[in-house]
Amino acid sequence: MSRRKTYEDSSDEEEGRSRKRRRGSESVDIEDRLESLITRVGEKSTSSLESNLEGLASVLESDLPNYKQKIMRILCECVTTMPEKLTVYTTLVGLLNAKNYNAGGEFVELLVRNLKEVLKTSEFDSALVMVRFLADLINCHVIVAASLIMMFDSFLEVTLEDNIPQVRSDWYVYAVLSSMPWVGKELAEKKDAELEKLLTTIEHYIQKRQKIHVQTLRVWTSDDPHPQEEYLDCLWAQIKNLRANQWEEHQILRPYLAFNVVLCDALQHTLPRIIPPSHHDEATYPLPTVVFRMFDYTDVPEGVGIIPGSQAIERYLLEEHISRIIESYHLERKDCAAYLLSFPLKCKVPLNYMIVEVLFSQLFRLPRPPYIDLFYGSLLVELCKLQPSSMPQVVAQATEMLYDRLDTMNTSCIERFVQWFAYHLSNFQFRWTWDEWSDCTQQDLLGPKAKFVQEVLLKCMRLSYHQRMVEIVPADFKALLPRKPVPSFKYEKEGSGSLPGTIVVHQLMQAIKSKCTPEEAFSIIKDVPNPLKEKEGMDPGYNPLRIEVFVQTLLYIGSKSFSHSFAAISKFNNVLKALAETQDGQICLLKSLYELHKDHQQLIVVLIDKLLKTQIVECSAVANWIFSDEMMQDFTSDEEDYDNVKRIWQRFEVAYKEATDFYVWEIMHSTVKKMNKQVQKLQKEVDEARDRREAAHRRTRDGLDLDDEPEDVPTEEMIERMEDRLEAAQSEQKNLFLIIFQRFIIILTDHLAKCESDDSDYNTHWYKWVIERLQQVFLLHHEQVYRYINTLETLMFTSDIDIHILEVFQQFCALRS
């Protein structure tokens, strides 16, 4: 489980061995040994950390003459790849500096160079740990305190810059503040006045920040029972408390304290000036966050320790440390679980609660979680396996709390909660105390708890089967159970004889079952009359009856499994394309598919995915279908006729349900993602082609390549063609977003207007589910949507739309402003 084992395992691998053989020299072995020694220090060991560090520092000192560059590089890597061992490495660097002043200087120089580089390339996560590392080097007598203050000063000067996004100054302030737990005490002792000045600047900054973005990023709209604070406000409050406690904290392990005598004698280096690179449009800064808090000390049983209060610095340090372990080991869930549970603590804290809180805070993070949800699911399973006596209870307690707080939970987060919980249950035989949740059966079916349970059962069914769901829940949950996922083929139901098309359907079925060619199938449906033509007397561009007959018959025959359906689609690809040449035809095709499989959501999702991949339907057709009357119930009918209104209202209630079904949005987002990927791919092609061309030019210019252009260098015309394709895809993407946002505005405006004229409360379950889906489109695809923000502002989200809708847009804009 340990890094050591992984490390040895991988060097046993074929690749490792052949690499060694190839280089074959003794120095390689020594280099590898050095690397392994350095990366492993600070892990559990039979001897004390202090003696390991002392020993390692001596080894490094003696190897410095021959392997200096290598040692410097490995140390610098450790800064960013193992941030959870920060103080171990600062101590090591301190000891090395005490033995060899030049080596200390070179390390600082290299780290500063790396820091400047990552600031330039907007790698702010790496930059943050480097800043913190430099700060902690004060404690190890490697760096002069005054020069650190200078660096912090120049960071804070960013707050005075004009015309920059707030996220830029936020980051620089955050970098300074988040170093304070490590270095506050030392600075207070040595540079008290300068430190106070820094903090005053920060305080002014914190007071004048705008916080419109907060609403969009909250997991819960309510601050009850725990306040959900904006990240910079929260850290500022924690730092103020730390200062009030004379900068004493009880969390950070400080191995350098044991070496105080040695380190005090060391000579210190002055940091070179580090000036933040100026702002440019391509720079992307980390988005702000809201600190997720679900537990406090009252949630924890007695005897396992106390969760630090939400404004105690220890809470921040614990969260930071847990997050850093996750970051370092997220690729190996078993190692990650083991490291999390063996986290060295200075005082008694209920570690399990902290781990679970941090994991859920990441899973629910908006706009997106740092890692895929399967990682969190499998890590939680692993943690439960490693600590079966206590972890499952904590996870269950957390689940109960999340369930209790569903009423104010953001829809995106509820969706992730559903996704995770279904996976978790499937790993534990679907055992759950459903009885305790029977309050959900009393709720309106669109109520958050009722909806949550319905969606969980739907997702569990996908991982299992329908009958199992019937067996696991109590009888009074019956109304929340999914329908059995079987096709509903109207042409074989009673009374189908009177349907137009039934005869053709039966012919077609016969033909497809006896393996007819696509041409033969087409000739069977060729003469199906077009009901639209009869009415309007002109060519509507598609024949709904023909589409329905063909699509439903084909997919009904293929409904035995995904593979059967896919095979059917690919065999009759050309027929489908011919039937649905126009956008209306494609929407009609999607409607036919939906009608047949409406009880099998998973199948609808994968079939639409297939239809998009095979380019039988376009992304915009899917969006238009999702917002079509049948799915959303576009409420724009004539309200004069009272009966008509009543009838529509009844339909409204039923059909509106569709918009609250999670799978509909699963389809929407996967469609948008597909579009985004297409644009990304074309963009990459263009970029690469340009780079290759440029590289070739450079070679020619340098006189290195006097031959004709090599074959793999793209010509100017080729690049132009690529650019045309990219442009077309980008305009398709923009169009897709415009359709989606426009349709959202229409259905939400209708709802709000309706409620106003009825004098009823607009804030219904339906409204919450739908407006938060609008918010989700912004958040989930924020990079792409952001590109079209000007168009959206001038064309759609103008001042004449309802403020409730406009707010969603404004909060999104505030994320990066």
Partner 1 sequence: MADCRGEKRKRDSGSVQLGAYRDQRYKGSRQQQEDLLLHSTTLYVGNLSFFTTEEQIHELFTRAGDVKRIIMGLDKFKKTPCGFCFVELRKFPRSVLIASDPSFYNLNSVVRYYTREDAENAMRYANGTRLDDRVVRTDWDVGFKEGRQYGRGKSGGQVRDEYRTDYDSGRGGYGKIIQQKIPAAAH
Binding status of residue 43 toward partner 1 by CB under 8 A: no
Minimum distance of partner 1 from residue 411's CB (angstroms): 20
DSSP string, 734-788: HHHHHHHHHHHHHHHHHHHHHHHHHT--S--HHHHHHHHHHHHHHHHTHHHHHHT
Continuous segment of H or E residues that includes residue 356: helix 351-363
Question: Of 523 and 561, which CB lies nearer to partner 1 in the complex structure?
Answer: 561
Binding status of residue 614 toward partner 1 by CB under 8 A: no
Question: Of 80 and 268, which CB lies nearer to partner 1 in the complex structure?
Answer: 80
Among 527, 712, 716, 717, binds partner 1 (CB under 8 A): 712
Minimum distance of partner 1 from residue 712's CB (angstroms): 7
Among 46, 298, 563, 790, binds partner 1 (CB under 8 A): 563
CB under 8 A, 24+ apart: contacts of 258-262:
258/50, 259/50, 259/53, 259/54, 259/91, 259/94, 259/95, 259/98, 262/95, 262/98
Question: Of 316 and 375, which CB lies nearer to partner 1 in the complex structure?
Answer: 375
Minimum distance of partner 1 from residue 760's CB (angstroms): 40
Minimum distance of partner 1 from residue 251's CB (angstroms): 25
Contact flags string 15-34 toward partner 1, x per CB under 8 A? x-------------------
Q: How far, CA to CA in Å, does 662 sit from each of 31, 211, 477, 594, 659?
A: 54, 30, 19, 15, 8
List the Cα angle 648/759/414 in 5-degree steps.
70
Q: Write the burial class of residue 732 (CB in 10 Å: 0-12 exposed, 13-18 middle, 19+ buried).
A: middle
Question: Of 209 and 693, which CB lies nearer to partner 1 in the complex structure?
Answer: 693
Among 2, 6, 241, 284, binds partner 1 (CB under 8 A): 6
Pairwise CA distance, residues 727 & 733, whole Å: 10
Amino acid at 350: P
Question: Of 692 and 765, which CB lies nearer to partner 1 in the complex structure?
Answer: 692
Binding status of residue 463 toward partner 1 by CB under 8 A: yes
Minimum distance of partner 1 from residue 329's CB (angstroms): 9
Minimum distance of partner 1 from residue 424's CB (angstroms): 10
Binding status of residue 335 toward partner 1 by CB under 8 A: yes
Pairwise CA distance, residues 213 & 230, whole Å: 9
Q: Write the burial class of residue 746 (CB in 10 Å: 0-12 exposed, 13-18 middle, 19+ buried).
A: middle
Pairwise CA distance, residues 318 & 307, whole Å: 10
Measured in whole angstroms, the distance separating CA 608 from the mean position of its chain's CA atoms is 23
Using N-to-C axis directions, what is the helix angle for 86-99 and 49-81, rounded to 10°?
A: 110
| Three-class secondary structure of residue 329 per DSSP | helix
Minimum distance of partner 1 from residue 696's CB (angstroms): 9
Binding status of residue 374 toward partner 1 by CB under 8 A: yes
Minimum distance of partner 1 from residue 449's CB (angstroms): 24
Binding status of residue 464 toward partner 1 by CB under 8 A: yes
Show contacts with partner 1 in window 375-434 (CB under 8 A): 375, 377-378, 381, 419, 423, 426-427, 429
Number of residues that bind partner 1 (CB under 8 A): 58
Amino acid at 665: W
| Cβ-contact 202, 264 below 8 angstroms | no
Measured in whole angstroms, the distance separating CA 719 from the mean position of its chain's CA atoms is 33
Q: How far, CA to CA in Å, does 179 sit from each of 95, 159, 173?
A: 21, 18, 10
Question: Of 29 and 691, which CB lies nearer to partner 1 in the complex structure?
Answer: 691
Contact flags string 56-95 toward partner 1, x per CB under 8 A? -----------------x--xx-xxx--------------
Minimum distance of partner 1 from residue 307's CB (angstroms): 28
Rounded to the nearest 5°, which phi and psi values hold at 626? -60, -35
Among 404, 407, 688, 756, binds partner 1 (CB under 8 A): 688
Binding status of residue 692 toward partner 1 by CB under 8 A: yes
Question: Of 103 and 239, which CB lies nearer to partner 1 in the complex structure?
Answer: 103
Binding status of residue 282 toward partner 1 by CB under 8 A: no
Nearest to 313 by CA among 232, 249, 361: 249
Show contacts with partner 1 in window 589-608 (CB under 8 A): 602-603, 606
The pair of structure tokens assigned to 706 is 């006097």
Pairwise CA distance, residues 416 & 410, whole Å: 10
Binding status of residue 691 toward partner 1 by CB under 8 A: yes
List the Cα angle 285/290/294 in 5-degree steps.
145
Question: Of 308 and 377, which CB lies nearer to partner 1 in the complex structure?
Answer: 377
Among 257, 695, 753, 795, binds partner 1 (CB under 8 A): 695
| Cβ-contact 607, 565 below 8 angstroms | yes
| Cβ-contact 503, 480 below 8 angstroms | no
Q: What share of the chain is helix, strand, coil (3-state, %, to 5)?
A: 70, 0, 30
Binding status of residue 9 toward partner 1 by CB under 8 A: yes
Binding status of residue 373 toward partner 1 by CB under 8 A: yes
Show contacts with partner 1 in window 126-155 (CB under 8 A): 126
Nearest to 137 by CA among 74, 187, 191: 187
Q: How far, CA to CA in Å, does 515 sit from each of 199, 512, 519, 568, 614?
A: 78, 5, 12, 11, 21
Binding status of residue 706 toward partner 1 by CB under 8 A: no
Question: Of 335 and 357, which CB lies nearer to partner 1 in the complex structure?
Answer: 335
Binding status of residue 331 toward partner 1 by CB under 8 A: yes
Question: Of 31 and 229, which CB lies nearer to partner 1 in the complex structure?
Answer: 31
Among 58, 467, 510, 561, binds partner 1 (CB under 8 A): 561
Nearest to 39 by CA among 64, 67, 2: 2
Stretch near partner 1 under the rule CB under 8 A, chosen from 56-64, 151-159, 178-186, 561-569: 561-569
Minimum distance of partner 1 from residue 730's CB (angstroms): 20
Pairwise CA distance, residues 242 & 188, whole Å: 12
Binding status of residue 643 toward partner 1 by CB under 8 A: no
The pair of structure tokens assigned to 242 is 């730390």
Stretch near partner 1 under the rule CB under 8 A, chosen from 53-61, 275-283, 695-703, 724-732: 695-703
- In the chain, what's the furthest Cα-to-Cα distance? 98
Show contacts with partner 1 in window 474-533 (CB under 8 A): none
Question: Of 583 and 683, which CB lies nearer to partner 1 in the complex structure?
Answer: 683
Pairwise CA distance, residues 707 & 296, whole Å: 72
Minimum distance of partner 1 from residue 384's CB (angstroms): 12
Q: Write the burial class of residue 265 (CB in 10 Å: 0-12 exposed, 13-18 middle, 19+ buried).
A: exposed
Stretch near partner 1 under the rule CB under 8 A, chosen from 117-125, 164-172, 358-366, 471-479: 117-125
Contact flags string 433-462 toward partner 1, x per CB under 8 A? --------------------------x--x
Question: Of 99 and 466, which CB lies nearer to partner 1 in the complex structure?
Answer: 466
Among 33, 120, 684, 697, binds partner 1 (CB under 8 A): 684
Question: Of 526 and 701, which CB lies nearer to partner 1 in the complex structure?
Answer: 701
Footprint on this chain of partner 1 (rule: CB under 8 A): 6-7, 9-10, 13-15, 73, 76-77, 79-81, 114, 117-118, 123, 126, 331-335, 372-375, 377-378, 381, 419, 423, 426-427, 429, 459, 462-465, 561-563, 566, 602-603, 606, 681, 684, 688, 691-692, 695, 698-699, 702, 704, 712
